[in-house]
Structure 1
Amino acid sequence: MARIEESCRLGRGRRDNSAGLEHFMMLYAERLRKSVFAQRDEEQRGTLESLEVGNSVEPKKRMKGKKGVTGKSNGHGDFASRSSTKSAVDTSAMSAVIGALLGSPGSATKNAKDSPKSTRRDAIVQESIQKTTAAFARLRDSSIPAADKLEDVQRICKVIRRLDNATEVQSDPNKMIGTGVQLRIDVSFEALQVIHMIQKFYRVDQGTNADSELAPVRELCATTLDFVRFVVRTAWISLSVDRKAQASEAMGVLEKRLLKTPFGERNSSEFRKLVQMYSEERDAMGLGRTSSPDTFRHLEWYLRNTVENSKLQMTLDRMAGRPIYFKLALDSQTSDDQIVLARAVIDAIPALKDVACFGKTGWSFVYGGTSKDDVTRVRNIMMKVADRTGIQVDDQNSQFSTPAIHIGQFKFSAAGPLRSAAAA
């Protein structure tokens, strides 16, 4: 635990230099993957060298065998080097040592777990998890007054920040080489358990009476860039110690969070960024862009930008999941100057902030409303805007009130933006 705390102090903090961290997280995936596997190979080779010296019966022959171990690495997980080592080292002994290094079942792992130091370390980690579990349980208990939960709030915030900072250090390719395998195993395991606790609290807390005393925890558990980074780092550390299933589990929690986020709570300036980061990092881990074709279908709209104009993209994102829409198709004779004037009027009227104006082969005004009355009200305002700017509406190709509307290759409805069958 002392080593974990030391790693925490090396972290830059959860919200320091947010823009720089975001840029780093989007670019470092491939470099991280190379680093974690190169680190794992180096640790294995070092242990195997020690094993050879300790078990040596014919020193001269062993020295020849070591040459294959200390050969140059290509920096991409030097499997050829490890293959040549097999001929110089007893296979069963090698398997045991690698098992101990990676935390997989084996005699070496069993011996390590039986050591007093390992037992004490495991006990400390388990005790921390149990205390955090109890604190989250108290926060969810409605029979306990919010004022009596302040100590639990403080503990949970401290644990989340500690693990967030620790994962920041241990997932950094430039710092990972200085961390041990067992430390990464402990941190990634505890972080995964806390991620599950965060998800459970977030799910239960949604729609309840928001007690201000729980605000600090609520902020750390929200669907934000910080939360996504925390989960992604935990998954990468799990991969670095050969625990792919654990990495997949962490990314699965994040995927479920993104899928279940209500459309009305999907921040148009951030949600798309979160989905893209999740998918790109997952793909870089070798887990695929999403866990299933159905998940891909429900997140596809967000996986890449459909228009170049970021303001228009956010307007379209806000329409996702609305129950009713209208589309005013404009006459083919509409000029660019008329469109510019209409957009200026739309920007000046707050009631029209969610109206999108776009077109490739023809211009349209599109809006997604919360009710029929909402759609009727906004549509009437837009008809006046068209009239005053001299724009003619093409009634034949317009949709004045409809539960679904097509925008490009996607169909917008209460189910969200899904690729239409014709475009699939």
Structure 2
Amino acid sequence: MSTTPTRQDFDHYMTPNYAPQQIIPVRGEGSRLWDQQGREYIDFAGGIAVNSLGHCHPVLVNALKEQGEKLWHLSNIYTNEPALKLARTLVERTFADKVYLCSSGGEANEAALKLARRYAVDHYGEQKDKIISFSQSFHGRTLFTVSVGGQPKYSQGFGPVPGGILHATFNDLESVRQLVGDDTCAIMVEPMQGEGGIIPATPEFLTGLRELCDKHNALLVFDEVQTGAGRTGELYAYKNYGITPDILTSAKSLGGGFPVGAMLTSDKVAKSLAFGTHGSTYGGNALGSAIALAAIEFIDTPEVLEGVKTRHDLFREHLETINRKHGVFKEIRGMGLLIGAQMSDAFEGRAKDILPLAIEEGLMALIAGPNVLRMAPSLVIPEADIAEGMARLERAIERLVANA
């Protein structure tokens, strides 16, 4: 007998590593969602920067239907046309020569880190194994990626973690100079820290990292899982800075809601990911690749990318207007449609308290740590939905202030 699932079913049947909101969305269109009771919400969360074209965008739905009636999955014993088309498109539109396809950002970063170490062994020897990343960074939930990520809470309690990992301070080049050396195989960095608080890197910082990597024969790895696929107003954020990494990782917006990840690199570096060194069962499957290809081809156009920059300005204007009335934010920052509003001293640590109030007002939003309200909506969210969503956010903030 068919039954309608409830929120209580989550607590009964699912492991308790998540704590979802009480509503259950059942339908989406564009930047709006409806729950089991038919209540409407505007989506500023975007599936945590995943739903790059909103919900059920016709371009992605058509790609899904067309490929879904042809071929879904083969395994990597064979290749397939959509995977080859996606890889070629990514190469033609970026610095890369080669692409490794997988199913998530964590997988893409795991591959990048393994490749960086393997490349160092192939060219310089096993002693060159140190990886430098940054405090408050986030690179995934595998044991390797949470260890490289700069938030110890995610790796505590899981036993010995991989060694040879050092953490510097984001946007502080001197802190990197104190750690880097000829035993460094890679520096991994987000062009804009996402989970760490929506903090863009300075151009000087990334330029300095590139120079340090060149000096010490280390690879520069850009984690663009959250900033990539149009999120910052360029196809990838490295283009905003004019700095070319050796390895780049992509996921989230890449699949527009379908689980797809990719690692991009040069011919020289890719040679170290030789036959049998790494793999992904679902990576490069035909269905996911067809959807990602449709997403990238739609996103990487002047209309969409310029629209992201225009929408960034609209979000900022609305947030600044709200802040002039209520004084809840200390700083509004970000690039493109990855935007963070840091809470003011009077509301320190209260960003999380906005989320349930926003849900009650019909708005979905995010946080980036306890002190930053985060927004990562569809790259093509209509301006009318921005205005209405901000009106709902203001009502939530009015309630927060009234109960302070």
TM-score, length-scaled by structure 2: 0.25
TM-score, length-scaled by structure 1: 0.24
Instruction: Give the number of the structure whose residues are more often strand, by fraction.
Output: 2
Q: Which has the higher contact order (CA 8 A, sep 6+)?
A: 2
Greater C-alpha Rg: 1
